[in-house]
Amino acid sequence: MPSTTYSTAPYTDQRPGTSGLRKRVEVFRHGNYLKNFVQSVFDTQTELAGNTLVLGGDGRFFNRDAIQVILKMASANGIGRVIVGQGGLLSTPAASCVIRKYKAAGGLILSASHNPGGPDGDFGIKFNTANGGPAPEKVTEEIYARTLEVGSYRLCDAADVNLDKIGEYTLNKMPVQVIDPVTDYAELMVSIFDFGAISALLKGSFRMRFDAMHAITGPYAKRILEQMLGAPKGTVINGEPLEDFGGHHPDPNLVHAAELVEMTRGPEGVDFAAASDGDGDRNMILGRDFFVTPSDSLAVLAANATCIPAHRNGIAGVARSMPTSQAVDRVATAFNIECFETPTGWKFFGNLLDAGRITFCGEESFGTGSDHVREKDGLWAVLAWLNVLAIRKQSVAEIVTAHWQQYGRNYYSRHDYEGVKSKAADELMAGLRARLPELPGTLLDGLEVSYADDFAYTDPIDGSISQKQGVRIGFSSGSRIVFRLSGTGTVGATLRVYLEAYEPDPSQQSLDPQVALAGLITTANNLAGISSITGRKKPDVIT
């Protein structure tokens, strides 16, 4: 079974975005698209040679084919050993856990997260480093630079590995270990949470549903919630992973998880419901007739961290992505712990987690996590909420409402304009950037602008600088408007507008966020000229 070097011609569009390289499936299946990228990883990440690589994906269409190709390339490139999840499956947080546990030199995760799958859907690949987290910008830029000049790739001409059977295989002398994708992750969860208290809750009259959205978390949730914690069978819905996610968007939000939201409605509604996305890193948390915004979820978990055995003595600090609401900042102030504001994308939390400066972190985009891995973690967030509910013995609504009364409420919403022409999106952002210097101190619709900038971040640990991370307009009232373009889309541009208003008065805290934010929404539209430049009258998605 010899290894052969094949010649190839570079592609020019392989720059990784917010979370890895993400394209339509047809792009990945074209010519050497996948192989060029993987070869560029092996060429630049030289520590992989002779060491362990973790490999797995969310099971979407093309996952299996891609795994076989990568295994053969790994062997031909002198990788020491590959650990791969059975069936080619590993949720993103589980991949992070496995990289850390087995001290791998890195991992390749195949996923396009919450984007639709199937032959006409999306595919993606992401390189994670030895800390288990997404590669920092320095590394992704190295890989990208290599994709522009890669002229050959190496592949060993061997038979496919049997991914369906757990065991040890060899591929042209390279050991391949097919592992159960759930076991290591489940053990980690046991080491963090109060399984006794959660189990007692789930075996009582408390009713919950977990929607795996026909994506990767099905097997994880069934094992942990139903088998280990004793939740009744049927607690996990849509638990069979499907290559096309049943034709749905595996995106846990109020629009795409409507079936689940319905189950929380009215007096017969369940007490708690949650969902996770395609690759298992996102989460949505619901109580009966109650939606917990991801920004509030992070703040509430931070405030209640000591309910969780692993955090009995408190947490070191917190971080949130820049567009995430400032609710957690108020908790950090109250607990006298550090709070960091980072650019969008989980990779920016990595250094802070590694340095022990933060314990919890989160993003408004349904991402919450802790220092247990270096990815956001959907099931972790669900277990964290269950742990808090089991200890506090109150409903989700009671806990969140009490939180607002204590800290004030940060009304929050994100408006997305999808599939905008790239030229129009760039023009809109350039127009905003040009106006930034003149804004501070002026009034916009009666609100005084206290600062206006294009967010730049200096990593406190390694000093690396990330610029142009989104336009922020802050008002003296504490309200904020943020504009940025998505780095994960695959068609045209997506404009994201993030709106936030702070309400300290408990008697004013029960408004619908769209009502509470109505004035700010108009201000944002006028300031950026959204409808005149993009031709859009209203956003495609409101969360």
The catalytic site residues sit at 113
Sheet strand arrangement including 208-211: 236-237, 208-211, 272-276, 283-287, 290-292
Taking the complex as a whole, how short is the minimal distance between the CB of residue 188 and Zn ion, in angstroms?
18
Residue 91 site contact among Zn ion, ligand G1P, none (CB < 5 to 8 Å, cut-off depends on kind): none
Taking the complex as a whole, how short is the minimal distance between the CB of residue 517 and ligand G1P, in angstroms?
18
Closer to Zn ion by CB, 110 or 517: give it. Answer: 110
Taking the complex as a whole, how short is the minimal distance between the CB of residue 351 and ligand G1P, in angstroms?
16
Taking the complex as a whole, how short is the minimal distance between the CB of residue 319 and ligand G1P, in angstroms?
13
Give the β-pairing of 81-89 and 52-57: parallel
Lookup: tokens for 203 = 């075996």
Q: Is the dihedral of CA 311, 315, 319, 325 positive or negative?
A: positive
Taking the complex as a whole, how short is the minimal distance between the CB of residue 385 and Zn ion, in angstroms?
18
Closer to Zn ion by CB, 44 or 115: give it. Answer: 115
Binding of ligand G1P by 321 (CB under 6 A): yes
Query: What CA–CA distance (Å, rounded) separates 103 from 138?
Result: 22
Sort 391 into a burial class: Cβ within 10 Å, 0-12 / 13-18 / 19+. Answer: middle
Taking the complex as a whole, how short is the minimal distance between the CB of residue 485 and ligand G1P, in angstroms?
8
Q: Which of 14, 19, 75, 96 binds ligand G1P (CB under 6 A)?
A: 19
Residue 279 site contact among Zn ion, ligand G1P, none (CB < 5 to 8 Å, cut-off depends on kind): Zn ion
Alpha helices in 83-126 (DSSP H): 92-101
Taking the complex as a whole, how short is the minimal distance between the CB of residue 97 and ligand G1P, in angstroms?
18
Binding of ligand G1P by 466 (CB under 6 A): no
Binding of Zn ion by 368 (CB under 5 A): no
Binding of ligand G1P by 363 (CB under 6 A): yes
Closer to ligand G1P by CB, 144 or 272: give it. Answer: 144
Q: In one letter, which amino acid is 435?
A: R
Lookup: tokens for 228 = 């280990």
Specify the DSSP class assigned to residue 362. Answer: E
Binding of ligand G1P by 217 (CB under 6 A): no
Nearest residue relative to ligand G1P (C-beta): 486
Scanning 27-35, 246-254, 426-434, 484-492 for contacts with ligand G1P by CB under 6 A, the matching segment is: 484-492
Q: Are 374 and 133 in contact (CB under 8 A)?
A: yes
SS3 277: coil
Closer to ligand G1P by CB, 19 or 410: give it. Answer: 19
Binding of Zn ion by 281 (CB under 5 A): yes
Closer to ligand G1P by CB, 264 or 324: give it. Answer: 324
Closer to ligand G1P by CB, 321 or 413: give it. Answer: 321
Binding of Zn ion by 279 (CB under 5 A): yes
Closer to Zn ion by CB, 122 or 277: give it. Answer: 277
Could you tell me the CA-to-CA distances from 4 to 7, 65, 156, 158, 224 in Å, in that order? 10, 19, 6, 11, 43
Closer to ligand G1P by CB, 123 or 272: give it. Answer: 123
3-state secondary structure 213-259: CCCCHHHHHHHHHHHHCCCCCCCEECCCCCCCHHHCCCCCCCCCCHH
Q: Which of 3, 10, 11, 18 binds ligand G1P (CB under 6 A)?
A: 18
Residue 363 site contact among Zn ion, ligand G1P, none (CB < 5 to 8 Å, cut-off depends on kind): ligand G1P
Q: Which of 235, 488, 534, 543 binds ligand G1P (CB under 6 A)?
A: 488
Q: Are 153 and 6 in contact (CB under 8 A)?
A: yes
Residue 498 site contact among Zn ion, ligand G1P, none (CB < 5 to 8 Å, cut-off depends on kind): none
Query: What CA–CA distance (Å, rounded) separates 356 from 537?
Result: 45
Q: Which of 346, 349, 404, 455 binds ligand G1P (CB under 6 A)?
A: 346
Q: Which of 496, 500, 533, 534 binds ligand G1P (CB under 6 A)?
A: 496
Q: Are 177 and 82 in contact (CB under 8 A)?
A: yes
> What would the DSSP string read from start to end of 162-187?
-TTS-EEEEETTEEEEEE-TTHHHHH
Query: What CA–CA distance (Å, rounded) separates 338 from 315?
Result: 10
Q: Which of 113, 276, 304, 413 binds ligand G1P (CB under 6 A)?
A: 113
Lookup: tokens for 232 = 């009744």
The count of chain residues that interact with ligand G1P, using the rule CB under 6 A, is: 14
Q: Residue 75: which of 139, 153, 181, 140 has the closest Cα?
A: 153
SS3 126: strand
In the range 84-113, which residues lie near Zn ion by CB under 5 A?
A: 113
Which residues make up the interface to Zn ion (CB under 5 A)? Answer: 113, 277, 279, 281-282
Which residues make up the interface to ligand G1P (CB under 6 A)? Answer: 18-19, 113, 321, 344-346, 363, 365, 367, 486-488, 496
